[in-house]
Amino acid sequence: MPTRWRQYDIIRLIQLVSRSYGVNECLALRIAYHESEFNPYAEGDDGKAVGLWQWHLPSWHHVRDKMGRPLDDERSQPWASTDTAMYAMGVLGLWQWWSTLEMAYLDCMNTTP
């Protein structure tokens, strides 16, 4: 049985990993929220999209290969999934892969510091 992550821990993980890749923390959090509501076991697109970041397996393999990391399917593992998403955004500039980017951007623009 997979380990259950608390929402607080997921949020902290996203904050820390986004900072390490120079990714805007607010955007990262809002994308993950819109994609999965911070549920690492979320599935979408008829089961093809998996995890916090709703990774499709070919996209997962592409980014993991660029990272030089194993291609094992760890899309539902919060650490691996978040590390891979932040690499995709921060290093590869693949922001457009997330259809929720515009919503996340608007959310961040409408938040008061």
Band (pLDDT 50/70/90 cuts) for residue 3 is: low
The 8-class DSSP code of residue 94 comes to -
44 strand-pairing partners? 49
Structure tokens given for 69: 């990391």
CATH code assigned at 45: 1.10.530.10
Instruction: Give the count of domains, the chain.
Output: 1
pLDDT in tens, 69-99: 999 999 999 999 999 999 999 999 999 999 9
Question: Is 90 exceeded by the pLDDT of residue 2?
Answer: no
Q: Is residue 30 part of a domain?
A: yes
Question: Is 90 exceeded by the pLDDT of residue 110?
Answer: no
- 25 is in which domain, residue-wise? 7-106
Q: Is residue 113 part of a domain?
A: no
Q: Is residue 51 part of a domain?
A: yes
Q: Is residue 111 part of a domain?
A: no
pLDDT in tens, 41-61: 999 999 999 999 999 999 999
Question: Is 90 exceeded by the pLDDT of residue 111?
Answer: no
50 strand-pairing partners? 43, 55
Q: Is residue 66 part of a domain?
A: yes
Residues 2 and 19 sit within 8 Å (Cβ to Cβ): no
